[in-house]
Amino acid sequence: MAEFKEISPNASYTEQLTNWFENRFPTAFFEYKKHMSEYYAPKNFNFWYFFGSLAMLVLVIQIVTGIFLVMHYKPDAAKAFESVEYIMRDVPWGWLVRYMHSTGASAFFIVVYLHMYRGLIYGSFRKPRELVWIFGCAIFLVLMAEAFMGYLLPWGQMSYWGAQVIINLFSAIPFIGPELSTWIRGDFVVGDATLNRFFSFHVIAVPLVLLGLVVAHLLALHDVGSNNPDGVEIKGPKAPKDAAGHPVDGIPFHPFYTVHDIFGVAVFLMVFSAIIFFAPELGGYFLEYNNFIPADPLKTPPHIAPVWYFTPYYSMLRAITTQMMQALSLILVVAVGWTIVKVRMPSFIKGVLAAIAFAFLWMFGAFGFTGIEALQGIDAKFWGVLVMGGAVIILFFLPWLDHSPVKSIRYRPDWHKWVYAVFVVNFIVLAYLGTQPPSPVGERISQIGTLFYFGFFLLMPWWSRLGQFKPEPDRITFAAH
């Protein structure tokens, strides 16, 4: 048992109250010091570092508003849409809570996408922060599941048919697909059983997993220390330290960065509030107009598309056609041939790679055969689902794909910046195409965009090493502001 700390009887009431709690709950004060007042972060954080704290803020907004929505929502196929209308029209301030939750869902993805992009350009996934990045990617994956399940709950036309389309994609998985999609729905069609299980997962199960991953993400980050725009380690054995052993290039997270983040929070809340009060649907991107119509299983909307933050991956799904797979198989053969010629490896491994390349050419009709669908009964949608899932899973491997000798984009060749810029533009174009009805031109652009997306990552071990790199500084560059 720890000894009680004594305090002067002339101390203020605040100091006496703090001392009383610290004597009875020292663990909380120890963790506060470890993760806040005595956690040293690099002093050169810029605006890109707002988005981590903003993600935490939006998470809190979603949890709090979700609790109030659950008080009035009815997870019943016959009453779900009416209960949402009741919240919007009759519950005092219910419209505000609902719009905060719906806008918060989109805000969450905007903030997370920007947060991940910051990690991408500054090399925050590089050693020793691989696990931090993996936890972050797991958060992104779970967040997608949470958003998808929540999207069904309003039980509007787009909610119903969007869920119908996405769940039906699982039926493309060979052998187990039809049974798996039925198990996910809980019925042969999207109905009351689907709504109930999605509600349970959205409200209880998935948020618990999400919170656990957020805690793991933060703990892993604070164990290895935060990255910075220069990519220079401030806590390494060679990093300069003061007499107390603190990094010279670091400052305590509290109060310096808590005050710093308050500015970012204020700007975010102004934009967030403006959207809620003046454009909560944001032209049909945040809330689709079809979702204000009750779900009708007998009337399919003219164009079914997922909500905007899923549309880049939806574009990739739609881009996969027989021609696309033939092109991908040829690209795979060229890549395998280059690997066999250029890379040293056992003959057995080379033989396996050659067999895989030959199998892909055969399966996709390069030799005049009917292809894998006729040969093995695998639905063509399966390859689209595989590509869509692979677009997210490949992010987990980023720490081992980037072979650049420097971390930060600041010290990479200028043309690397253009590669990252094209990647962002390509992602936005894919997102836009995913909201549009299918067209021949859109399909071709989506195919090019999909090839560039995967090429960006799969070719990264090669292109990330090319060019003239600038020397990294021994200490971070910092100008007071």
Model pLDDT, residue 480: 66
| pLDDT of 243 above 60 | yes
Mean pLDDT of 333-358: 73
Which residue bears the tokens 């560059």? 477
pLDDT grade, residue 321 (50/70/90)?
confident
| pLDDT of 377 above 50 | no
Model pLDDT, residue 379: 60
Mean pLDDT of 29-36: 84
Model-wide pTM > 0.85: yes
Q: Which residues are annotated as a binding site?
A: 101, 115, 202, 217, 222
Q: Where are the alpha helices (DSSP H) in 201-321?
A: 206-224, 258-278, 311-319
Mean pLDDT of the chain: 88
| pLDDT of 378 above 60 | no
Model pLDDT, residue 365: 53
Q: What angle do CA 86, 151, 110 make, to 5 degrees?
A: 115
Residue 395: C-alpha distances to residues 105, 110, 147, 151, 456 (Å): 21, 17, 19, 24, 11
Among 54-68, 299-313, 339-353, 357-371, which range has the highest average pLDDT? 54-68
Model pLDDT, residue 90: 96
Higher-confidence residue: 232 or 143? 143
Q: Report the amino acid identity of residue 94.
A: G
Q: Which residues are annotated as a binding site for a ubiquinone?
A: 222
| pLDDT of 367 above 50 | no
Mean pLDDT of 112-136: 95
User: Taking the domains of the chain in order of start, what are their residue ranges?
Assistant: 30-286
- Token pair recorded at residue 225: 């220390």
Q: What angle do CA 275, 278, 279 make, to 5 degrees?
A: 60
CATH topology of domain 30-286: Cytochrome Bc1 Complex; Chain C (1.20.810)
Residue 481's contacts (CB-CB under 8 Å, 6 or more residues apart) are none
Q: What are the tens digits of pLDDT across the range 391-416?
A: 999 999 999 999 999 999 999 999 99
Cis (ω within 30 of 0) for the bond into 255?
yes
Distance CA 23, CA 196 (A): 46
| pLDDT of 37 above 90 | no
Q: Yes or no: say if 458 and 334 are a contact pair by the CB < 8 Å rule.
A: no
pLDDT grade, residue 343 (50/70/90)?
low
Model pLDDT, residue 374: 43
Distance CA 267, CA 60 (A): 17
Cis (ω within 30 of 0) for the bond into 75?
no
pLDDT grade, residue 366 (50/70/90)?
very low
Q: What are the tens digits of pLDDT across the range 167-217?
A: 888 888 878 888 999 999 988 889 999 999 999 999 999 999 999 999 999
Model pLDDT, residue 362: 65
Q: Which residues are annotated as a binding site for heme b?
A: 101, 115, 202, 217
| pLDDT of 373 above 60 | no
Mean pLDDT of 108-137: 96
Q: Yes or no: say if 51 and 260 are a contact pair by the CB < 8 Å rule.
A: no
